């Protein structure tokens, strides 16, 4: 087991910038305001009620996370089985939010996508335990945090990393990319898992914007 500091339980308002999850930024910030997943007129980018800078707003209310990446997009991560719909647990900061798990038996990887239409990134960060690996990033111009999960043991092929994206005031997209006991020839370092979580998040943003 990779030694991990015990998580403090005091909530923090700001994300802590600590080295940990690297990876390159996926895609470039969108300059044109995107359309919403529901097809409603997009909210303008730039300033909004919270002052958060985004290239636009994506309405995730009622969004289906199993449809957040297309079959064509999923092929990039060698997904070779049907997505499985799940739901975030009752004791989580986004309790009841729909989630969906995609898997690759060939690569021994899975990724999970969750969409919350009523909890935003600042509230998520405040409500959940702080992580020493939490890093502020952007995914396609949207503010996001990336952090490693606590059940990681890279030496045994087990790791998890998250990208949580601020898509609109009070709404977020969460992506987890992970492995459990992956074979020696399949193992990915944690920074690769983090990079892939961001890739999946970028793909999901494209799909959810109607692209």
Partner 1 sequence: MPFFSGVGEPVGAVIGAAAGAAAGAGAAAAAQAAASSSGRLRIEPDQVDGAITVFRNALANVEAEVAQARSDITAFAPAGDAVSNDVASAFNEVGTTNALAAWEGAIEQLRSIIEQLEAAKQQHLTTDAGNAGMLQQPSA
Q: Which residues bind partner 1 (CB under 8 A)?
A: 1, 4, 6-7, 9, 81-82, 84, 86-89, 91-95, 99, 101, 103, 105, 110-112, 114, 124, 127-129, 147, 149-153, 156, 158, 160, 162, 174, 176, 178, 180-181
Q: Which is nearer to partner 1, 4 or 27 (CB)?
A: 4
Element spanning 74, H or E:
helix 71-74
Min dist CB 177 to partner 1, Å, is 9
CA quadruple 110, 120, 12, 196: dihedral, nearest 10:
30
Min dist CB 90 to partner 1, Å, is 9
Q: Which is nearer to partner 1, 112 or 204 (CB)?
A: 112
Residues 174 and 162: beta-carbon distance below 8 Å:
yes
Q: Which is nearer to partner 1, 45 or 103 (CB)?
A: 103
Identify which of 173, 34, 151, 46 has the alpha carbon closest to the alpha carbon of residue 100.
173
Min dist CB 41 to partner 1, Å, is 31
- Residue 138: strand, helix, or coil: strand
Rg of the chain over all Cα atoms, to the nearest angstrom:
16
Q: Which is nearer to partner 1, 9 or 32 (CB)?
A: 9
Residue 60 to residue 190: CA distance in whole angstroms: 28
Min dist CB 9 to partner 1, Å, is 5
């Amino acid at each position: 087991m990779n030694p991990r500091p015990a998580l403090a339980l005091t909530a923090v308002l700001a994300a802590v910038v600590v080295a940990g999850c690297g990876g390159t930024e996926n895609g470039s910030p969108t300059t044109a305001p995107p359309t919403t997943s529901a097809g409603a007129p997009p909210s303008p980018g730039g300033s909004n009620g919270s002052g958060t800078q985004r290239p636009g707003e994506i309405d995730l209310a009622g969004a289906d996370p199993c449809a957040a990446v297309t079959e064509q997009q999923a092929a990039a991560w060698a997904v070779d089985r049907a997505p499985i719909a799940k739901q975030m647990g009752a004791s989580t900061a986004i309790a009841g939010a729909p989630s969906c798990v995609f898997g690759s038996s060939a690569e021994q990887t899975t990724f999970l996508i969750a969409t919350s239409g009523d909890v935003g990134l600042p509230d998520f960060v405040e409500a959940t335990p702080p992580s020493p690996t939490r890093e502020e990033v952007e995914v396609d111009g949207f503010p996001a945090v990336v952090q490693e999960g606590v059940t990681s043991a890279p030496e045994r092929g087990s790791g998890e990393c998250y990208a949580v994206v601020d898509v609109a005031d009070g709404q977020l997209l969460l992506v987890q990319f992970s492995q459990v006991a992956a074979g020696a020839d399949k193992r990915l370092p944690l920074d690769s898992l983090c990079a892939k979580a961001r890739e999946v998040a970028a793909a999901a943003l494209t799909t959810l914007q109607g692209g």
